[in-house]
Chain A
Amino acid sequence: MKRPLPDPFSIAAFLVILVSGYIFYTIFSAHRFIVFTSEDQIEAQIQAEFPLLSQYLL
């Protein structure tokens, strides 16, 4: 018997829960986030991470 394909909505819901947990972990437990204290820092960070998109993000 052919196994039914997984429901796309259920997969999306599962991912949302997983990613939400990851967000809370990185911010509250691992404290992995940047706090920009100057405009230069923001510019440098965007240039470093998204050089192609920097002109749109700045």
Chain B
Amino acid sequence: MIDELRAACEWGTSPLVFFSENVFSPLIYYSHLTPVLVSLILGLYIYFANRQSLLNRILLFICFTLSTWLLLDLVLWATDSIRVVMATWSLVNMIEPIIYAGFAYFTLVFVTGKDSGYRTKLLLVLPLIPTILLAGTHWNVIGFNLTDCDREVIEGPLAYYNYLIEIGYVLWIMLLGVRVWADRNALARRTSSTLVVLSALVLLLGFASGNIVGSFSEDWAIGQYGLFVIPVSIGALSYFVVQAKFVGRSQFMAAQVLVLGLWLAVCSILFIQNITIVRWIVAMTLIFLAVLGYILLRSFKHEIQQRQEIEQLAAQLQVSNKQQVTLIHFITHQIKGFVTKSRNIFSVLLDGDMGAVPVTMKPMLEEGLRSDTKGVNTIQEILNAANIKSGKVEYRKEPFDLKALIDETAEDLRAAATAKGLALAVDTGSVPLMYPGDRGQLVNAFKNLIDNSIKYTPEGEVRVSLAQLPGTIRFEVADTGVGITRADMQNLFTEGGHGTNSTKINVESTGFGLYIVKNIIEAHGGKVWAESEGDGKGSRFIVELPT
């Protein structure tokens, strides 16, 4: 009975497993073998580019499983053996949900940037256990249907369960897409994560199109076109994987596959369209696509090479910069030691500790002491700026009276102002202003600001004020000095930023003073800025510290 029915169906034989006249159109080979070839080549290439990367390993697993499914599906199209159909159908049903789970795992690892926890892995695998364990039973495939000649099996309830868990995995991937947009920490990878989620969904949709379209239209051939999105989507996924961990050659390879995938997709029209004019148009489009693809890939390759060169140079520059900074720091430190020693010698001599100093020698010693003190201060300023830049400065914040600090600092500098014939007015109120900050660092900052005003004011006055405002303490130092031009204002608080005329007035200026001030104030959560109506019209430096 079975042999009679089988003979009546007139199935073609398939001695080469995949090839037989049962495959009604070359399109089937094209739609199956192209994604197999592309995904296997790409999966292996990506894997060998970086074997340690988890994403690369998952992608290889997906490519391998997907290819197995496609080859088994091709066997189903070609074979005339009832046994082969039974075995292959059972395997196809078992492998299909595993591919979905693979994509769910892949997108999870890509979006989160790390491997998932044990529980999440269990959550991904547990739904697959019934599918795997029952794959060899009637729950999966009940038997071969010889009532028609469609070479089909009668599926058990497990097939519906498989559809359900596949929908579950798709929802999982969709939720990951939503999470990408909800998570503020994932901002940097938002675009690539979204594209990976979309690529995975498009691929699964194309993959499932055979079942979906076939179920609704009973035309199982139309669904085959969906398989063409597989090489394109795999290419896109590979592109994002290698972009996440930049490997120039792999990125280029992924781009090549993308172009090839598009070309192959267009090429498929030749297999289904018999109208000559359409074939001509397709052929012309293919030539155009090939030329365009070549130009695109060439420019992309060029861009990758340039990017690699720039990155290499940047890395070299960073190393050389670091070495230079270390060397300058070392030299500065050494010089500071020598100058400090020399200053101490002048100081000891002037104090008369080594005996009385002849009157004729005293002015020379005083000049030496003055010069060395300036030298030590200058070196200290450069060292402070270097420490701030390298993040070595630690701020020890404790409450202290800010009013007293400003009063003391202004008093210390009064002599310098008086020597220049300047009036120094200080208005810090009458009540103490307690502020939690690093007293030593703030002394440096305020001293720098007042000292600057004195240095850059040839005549007139310098006014220092401190006031408690709602939510903030405002310090201000205003002068009738040289003022600041609009152009100088932009570089004022930058590292080594000199004003146009500043070095003429203050020859010892390192250009680091205001840079240090800005960093100290900002480390306290405050802000500092300057105001001036222009050249020769005086200036005002304002500091606001939050309370």
Contacts and interface: CB of A to CB of B under 8 A. Distances in A.
A42 B154 contact: yes
Interface in A2-52: 5, 7-9, 11-12, 15-16, 19-20, 22-24, 26-28, 31, 33-39, 42, 45-46, 49-50
Q: How large is the interface on B (under 10, 10 to 19, 20 to 34, 35 or more residues)?
A: 35 or more
Contacts of A45: 142-143, 154
B132 A42 contact: no
Interface of B: 1-2, 5, 82-83, 86-87, 90-91, 94-95, 98, 118, 121-122, 124-126, 128-129, 132-133, 135-136, 138, 142-147, 154-157, 160
A12 B125 contact: yes
Contact of B87 (A23, A34, A53): A23
B91 A12 contact: no
Q: How large is the interface on A (under 10, 10 to 19, 20 to 34, 35 or more residues)?
A: 20 to 34
A23 B156 contact: no
Given A16-B98, A33-B83, A50-B156, 11 more contacts: A8-B118, A8-B121, A12-B132, A16-B95, A20-B91, A20-B94, A28-B83, A28-B87, A33-B143, A37-B2, A42-B145
Contacts of B155: 57
Contacts of B83: 27-28, 31, 33
| SS of B interface (majority) | helix
13 contacts: A8-B122, A8-B125, A12-B125, A15-B133, A19-B132, A23-B90, A23-B135, A27-B83, A36-B147, A37-B1, A37-B2, A42-B145, A57-B156
B129 A12 contact: yes
| SS of A interface (majority) | helix
A11 B156 CA distance: 25
A24 to B, nearest CB: 6
Contacts of A57: 154-157
A16 B129 contact: no
Given A11-B125, A27-B86, A50-B156, A34 B142 contact: yes
Interface of A: 5, 7-9, 11-12, 15-16, 19-20, 22-24, 26-28, 31, 33-39, 42, 45-46, 49-50, 53, 56-57
A15 B133 CA distance: 7
Contacts of A12: 98, 125, 128-129, 132
A16 B136 contact: no
A36 B143 contact: yes
Nearest to B154: A42
Contact of A39 (B94, B124, B147): B147
B147 A37 contact: yes
Contacts of A5: 118
B156 A35 contact: no
A27 B87 contact: yes
Nearest to A11: B125
A36 B160 contact: no
A19 B142 contact: no
A34 B147 CA distance: 13
A10 B60 CA distance: 16
Contacts of A56: 157, 160
Contacts of B135: 19, 23
Nearest to A22: B136
Nearest to B144: A35
B169 to A, nearest CB: 14
Contacts of A50: 156-157
A16 B87 contact: no
Contacts of B122: 8
A5 B121 CA distance: 12
A3 B352 CA distance: 78
Contacts of A53: 157
A46 B361 CA distance: 119
Given A5-B118, A34-B142, A42-B154, A23 B136 contact: yes
B82 to A, nearest CB: 6
B101 to A, nearest CB: 8
A37 to B, nearest CB: 5
Given A11-B125, A16-B132, A57-B157, A38 B147 contact: yes
